[in-house]
């Protein structure tokens, strides 16, 4: 199959087969063409040339191909059961509410997902939503199931649950295409491998025999340097910004955290234990019910995220499509969103200056765009994320940068670039706050780690000495729970 967008040849002459019960890893750098290929497989896009042939499904209401998207597609104001039902309605049969709840419950149980079918999707954590999304895809018993970075918002136990479910499906004969930028997951789950680079298939064959390094090399076409840059030489004792005894109804209980300038501080825990709330409070998006946020020891109150930005606090939100980007806006408009005073001094628009500044950013982060005027909606997911993080590099006087899942959907090569930029920012004196569902990233990128459990601080670790086990110990409640 081939498919172009204007002059961009997103997918060029790709041919592969996948047998029932096989799990195929589809990998490639950001912008390599993975999403386009998946959209061709699922029929959301028409190929320019070529075709897809899929065996008919086994069940009467089955579908040939189902896909779990990277960007969640559930309706927030509907219940879990209603969301699952919606997807099946296309199959024709209208069923009673009771039957639909029962069948939703059975799909969730089969997957081992502990979520009430009557909960509204809006009340679920991102991880739970992702699991419901997967349940939705599985509920149509597809011949081919496509999973586009299904683990990017899941943490340890949920990932294990998902993998067990995928293995069960495969054993029952479902063919699976699995996309992930976390290489260790590919080795755990996949049999075969399709590597794409710039729209072209560079490798199709068994995964066995590959190492992480050889896989990355096949993807990027060159050897890569190490993923994580160094750490801060020391942790300054004085905080740049801190939370003192902060509570938020039902979510945080007397949390005190200190974020020094010049260092990366991670706030981690299992999904839904308060990390996101901490990020939002620091970024001025949520106000604590009690307790204080202090900058250099002076209590501050932000009326909203803009007020926080005026104090030099930047925020990279987890859902770039909802909160972060003007999707119709150009790369340049999005990149300079927070940097108006620098790019347009004294309020005078300066296109030349804008071009120079944005061009520098595009080069530094290797953002793949056809021009600075290309709408960000046309960029691949990983490149959108780079724009969102890179934006803060252009802001003079940045003092705090809060990153909430900054490398979701970002390939390993691009990750290394983002990590280097984050470390440079810290080295220049910015206090970086990292909230991430990726344990490797939490351990590799940070200097100190706070672990939250049930809205309370259950541990503080120095990242250089910490292991995954240490973090998990505290994330499960640590000694406090005993
Ligand atoms: N609707 C579109 N209009 C114009 N260009 C597009 C469109 N969709 C994709 N492209 C381009 O096609 C190329 C492949 O993009 P695609 O989204 O398939 O990559 P990807 O491998 O999924 O990347 P990522 O890992 O970042 O999600 C990119 O150069 C992208 O900018």
Residue 380: CB within 6 Å of ligand 1?
Answer: yes
Q: What percent of the chain has pLDDT over 70?
A: 94
Residue range 296-335, pLDDT digits in tens: 999 999 998 889 998 999 999 887 766 777 778 899 988 8
CATH number at residue 264: 3.40.50.300
Residue 141: CB within 6 Å of ligand 1?
Answer: no
Q: Which of 159, 188, 220 is the last residue of a domain?
A: 220
Q: Which of 165, 189, 220 is the last residue of a domain?
A: 220
Distance (angstroms) between ligand 1 centre and the Cα of 33 equals: 6
279's tokens: 């990020």
Residue 413: CB within 6 Å of ligand 1?
Answer: no
Residue 8: CB within 6 Å of ligand 1?
Answer: yes
Burial class (CB in 10 A: 0-12, 13-18, 19+), 37: buried
Please give the pLDDT value at position 322.
Answer: 63
Among the atoms of ligand 1, which is closest to the Cα of residue 384? 26
Classify residue 441: in a domain, yes or no: yes
Q: Are residues 433 and 388 both part of a single domain?
A: yes
Q: Are residues 209 and 93 both part of a single domain?
A: yes
pLDDT band at 153 (very low <50, low <70, confident <90, very high): confident
Classify residue 35: in a domain, yes or no: yes
Q: Which of 220, 255, 273 is the last residue of a domain?
A: 220
Distance (angstroms) between ligand 1 centre and the Cα of 217 equals: 21
Q: What range does the domain containing 165 cover? A: 3-220
- Model confidence at 256: pLDDT above 90: yes
Can you give the three-state secondary structure of the chain, one letter per residue? Answer: CEEEECCEEEEECCCCCCCCCCEEEEECCCCCCHHHHHHHHHCCCCCCECCCCCCCCCCCCCCCEEEECCCCCCCCCCEHHHHHHHHHHCCCCCCCHHHHHHHHHHHHHHHCCCCCCCCEHHHCCHHHHHHHHHHHHHCCCCCEEEEECCCCCCCHHHHHHHHHHHHHHHHCCCEEEEECCCHHHHHHHCCEEEEEECCEEEEEEECCCCCHHHHHHHHHCCCCCCCCCCCCCCCCCCEEEEEEEEEECCCEEEEEEEEECCCEEEEECCCCCCHHHHHHHHCCCCCCCEEEEEECCEEECCCCHHHHHHCCEEEECCCHHHHHCCCCCEHHHHHCCCCHHHHCHHHCCCHHHHHHHHHHHHHHCCCCCCCCCCEHHHCCHHHHHHHHHHHHHHCCCCCEEEEECCCCCCCHHHHHHHHHHHHHHHHCCCEEEEECCCHHHHHHHCCEEEEEECCEEEEEEEHHHCCHHHHHHHHCCHHHHC
Distance (angstroms) between ligand 1 centre and the Cα of 255 equals: 41
Classify residue 467: in a domain, yes or no: yes
Classify residue 74: in a domain, yes or no: yes
Classify residue 227: in a domain, yes or no: no
Q: Are residues 343 and 418 both part of a single domain?
A: yes
Q: Are residues 472 and 416 both part of a single domain?
A: yes
Residue 34: CB within 6 Å of ligand 1?
Answer: yes
Q: Are residues 263 and 210 both part of a single domain?
A: no
Structural domain total, the chain: 2
Distance (angstroms) between ligand 1 centre and the Cα of 150 equals: 18
Residue range 162-214, pLDDT digits in tens: 888 889 889 989 999 999 888 888 999 999 999 998 899 999 999 999 988 88
Please tell me the pTM assigned to this model: 0.69
- Choosing from 2, 28, 31 the residue with most ligand 1 atoms within 8 A of its CB, the one to mutate for a pocket test is 31
Distance (angstroms) between ligand 1 centre and the Cα of 398 equals: 31
Q: Are residues 344 and 425 both part of a single domain?
A: yes
Q: Mean pLDDT for the chain? A: 88
Q: Are residues 207 and 343 both part of a single domain?
A: no
Distance (angstroms) between ligand 1 centre and the Cα of 271 equals: 29
pLDDT band at 46 (very low <50, low <70, confident <90, very high): very high
- Model confidence at 340: pLDDT above 80: no
Residue 332: CB within 6 Å of ligand 1?
Answer: no
Q: Are residues 193 and 243 both part of a single domain?
A: no
Classify residue 95: in a domain, yes or no: yes
Q: Are residues 179 and 276 both part of a single domain?
A: no
Q: Are residues 211 and 245 both part of a single domain?
A: no
Residue range 272-293, pLDDT digits in tens: 899 999 999 999 999 999 999 9
Q: Are residues 251 and 165 both part of a single domain?
A: no
Distance (angstroms) between ligand 1 centre and the Cα of 8 equals: 9
The owner of tokens 């120095």 is: 462
Residue 12: CB within 6 Å of ligand 1?
Answer: no
Distance (angstroms) between ligand 1 centre and the Cα of 30 equals: 8
Classify residue 234: in a domain, yes or no: no
Among the atoms of ligand 1, which is closest to the Cα of residue 6? 4
- Model confidence at 482: pLDDT above 50: no
Q: Are residues 399 and 277 both part of a single domain?
A: yes
Classify residue 229: in a domain, yes or no: no
């Amino acid at each position: 199959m081939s498919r172009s967008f204007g002059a961009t040849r997103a997918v060029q002459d790709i041919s592969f087969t996948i047998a029932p019960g096989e799990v195929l890893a589809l990998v490639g750098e950001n912008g390599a063409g993975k999403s386009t290929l998946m959209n061709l497989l699922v029929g959301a896009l028409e190929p320019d040339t070529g075709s897809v042939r899929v065996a008919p499904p086994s069940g009467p209401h089955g579908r040939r191909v189902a896909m779990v998207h990277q960007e969640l597609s559930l309706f927030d104001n509907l219940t879990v059961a209603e969301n699952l039902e919606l997807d099946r309605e296309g199959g024709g049969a209208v069923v009673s509410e009771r039957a639909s709840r029962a069948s939703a419950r059975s799909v969730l149980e089969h997957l081992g997902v502990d979520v009430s079918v009557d909960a509204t999707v809006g009340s679920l954590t991102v991880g739970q939503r992702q699991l419901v999304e997967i349940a939705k895809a599985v509920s149509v018993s597809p011949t081919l199931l496509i999973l586009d970075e299904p683990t990017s918002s899941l943490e340890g136990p949920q990932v294990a649950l998902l993998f067990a479910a995928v293995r069960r499906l495969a054993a029952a004969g479902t063919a699976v295409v699995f996309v992930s930028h976390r290489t260790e997951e590919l080795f755990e789950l996949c049999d075969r491998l399709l590597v794409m680079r710039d729209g072209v298939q560079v490798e199709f064959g068994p995964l066995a025999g590959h190492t992480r390094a050889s896989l990355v090399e096949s993807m990027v076409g060159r050897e890569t340097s190490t993923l994580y840059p160094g750490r801060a030489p020391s942790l300054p004792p004085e905080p740049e910004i801190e939370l003192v005894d902060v509570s938020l109804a039902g979510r945080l209980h007397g949390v005190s955290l200190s974020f020094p300038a010049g260092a990366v501080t991670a706030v981690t825990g299992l999904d839904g234990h308060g990390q996101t709330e901490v990020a939002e409070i620091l970024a001025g998006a949520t106000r604590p019910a009690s307790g204080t946020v202090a900058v250099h020891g002076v209590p501050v109150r932000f009326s909203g995220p803009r007020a926080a930005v005026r104090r030099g606090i930047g925020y990279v939100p987890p859902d770039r499509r909802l909160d972060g980007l003007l999707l119709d806006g150009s790369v340049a408009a999005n990149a300079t969103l927070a940097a108006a005073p620098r790019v347009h001094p004294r309020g005078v628009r300066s296109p030349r200056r804008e071009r120079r500044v944005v061009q520098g950013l595009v080069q530094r982060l290797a953002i793949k765009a056809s021009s600075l005027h290309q709408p960000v909606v046309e960029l691949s997911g990983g490149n959108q994320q780079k724009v969102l993080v890179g934006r803060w590099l252009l802001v003079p006087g940045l003092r705090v940068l809060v990153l909430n899942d900054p490398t979701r959907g970002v390939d390993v090569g691009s990750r290394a670039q983002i990590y280097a930029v984050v470390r440079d920012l810290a080295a220049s004196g910015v206090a970086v706050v990292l909230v991430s569902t990726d344990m490797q990233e939490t351990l590799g990128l940070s200097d100190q780690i706070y672990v939250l459990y049930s809205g309370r601080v259950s541990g503080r670790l120095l990242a250089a000495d910490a292991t995954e086990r240490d973090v998990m110990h505290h994330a499960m409640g640590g000694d406090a729970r005993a």
